[in-house]
Amino acid sequence: MSTATAPLPSRRARAVDTAPEREKRGQWFRFALLLAVTLVVLVPVLVTLWLSLRPGLGSTATGITLGNFTAIFRDTLTPTWLGNSLVTALSTVAVAVAVAAPAGYVLSRGRNRLVSGYSLLLFVVQSLPVITAVVPLFILFAKLGLVDDLAGITIIYVGSSMSVATWMMAAYFDSIPVSLEEAAWIDGASVFGSFLRIVLRNSLPGVLSTAIFTFLLAWNDYLVAIVFLRSNTTFTLPMGLQSFFQQNSTDWGSVMAVAVVMMLPPVIVFAALNRYFSVGGIGGSLAGR
């Protein structure tokens, strides 16, 4: 009497059976990798925050305290430095975006030899480090009275960020169909009117990306500030932070407290603008035509 044996699963069937397991292992591997990268990024931030809450040099307090923050705002020029950094960073953002938006539109829509040459020039300019122009600019600004002046470093920030900001705006304008502008032209809009009402209206993520880039460039700068700023009242936060380092001793509690103050505005900006990074408006505009 013979007994029937079940057929062995084929190699393809075994591969299909193990595919979900491999996908699950891959998901866990990606999760572990992202977790490791996140921890590496967050550890310095958490250490800075922890040290800022510890008692500072000469303090008799114990445990967690806000005394370092109270001290830097009461006994130092940190409020002045914070205001200077905000003035220079926000002024840089306003000027850079206002100039880069129409310049990027010309790069995106105007295709000719002149525009191509201008585009190549921007590419060359953005590859040059700022340090190469610091000495000539210092000589020029000294004659113009712009040394130790916030307006002087703001001009440098705008100039150094303009090429990249223009490229960023042009890259985003390329993603907006020209058919939207053509429809506006048929309805009687001018080129400038269609740029304002159609292109910029659907370019909010690109504008915000450019604004954040220029804001961070001006906010975190130390090299230009240390060359052009001389008095304590004109220091920005990176320069003010450097002033806490003494030759024989350093109040690390105050240093870390100023570092936390420096980190807060970028974090607030990202948290406030994160919900505006959406490209769904373009699709909706196309659907309405």
pLDDT over 90 (residue 183): no
Domain ranges of the chain: 78-287
Residue-wise pLDDT for 97-114, tens only, equals 999 999 888 888 877 777
Per the model's pLDDT, the better-predicted residue between 77 and 60 turns out to be 77
Q: What is the DSSP annotation of the chain? A: -----PPPPPHHHHHHHHHHHHHHHHHHHHHHHHHHHHHHHHHHHHHHHHHHTS--TT----SS-SHHHHHHHHHSSHHHHHHHHHHHHHHHHHHHHHHHHHHHHHHHH--SHHHHHHHHHHHHHHTS-THHHHHHHHHHHHHHT-TT-HHHHHHHHHHHHHHHHHHHHHHHHTTS-HHHHHHHHHTT--HHHHIIIIIGGG-HHHHHHHHHHHHHHHHH--HHHHHH--SGGG--HHHHHHTTB-SS-B-HHHHHHHHHHHHHHHHHHHHHHGGG---HHHHHHHHT-
Per the model's pLDDT, the better-predicted residue between 287 and 248 turns out to be 248
Pick from 72-81, 148-157, 269-278: least confident:
269-278
pLDDT over 50 (residue 30): yes
Distance of CA 288 to the CA centre of its chain: 33
d(CA 237, CA 243): 10
pLDDT mean over 15-32: 74
pLDDT over 70 (residue 12): no
For the chain, what is the largest distance between any 2 Cα atoms, rounded to a whole number of angstroms? 110
Rounded to a whole number, what is the distance in angstroms from the first to the last CA of the chain? Answer: 77
Residue-wise pLDDT for 225-278, tens only, equals 999 998 889 999 999 888 888 766 777 888 899 999 999 998 888 888 877 765
Reference 209, options 158, 278, 265, 126; nearest CA is: 278
The structure tokens 């000027």 sit at 95
Burial pattern 9-35, b for ≥16 Cβ within 10 A else e, equals: eeeeeeeeeeeeeeeeeeeeeeeeeee
**Domain 78-287 has what CATH class?**
mainly alpha
pLDDT of residue 153: 93
Per the model's pLDDT, the better-predicted residue between 146 and 118 turns out to be 146
pTM of the model: 0.80
d(CA 17, CA 19): 6
Two tokens at 6? 């079940």
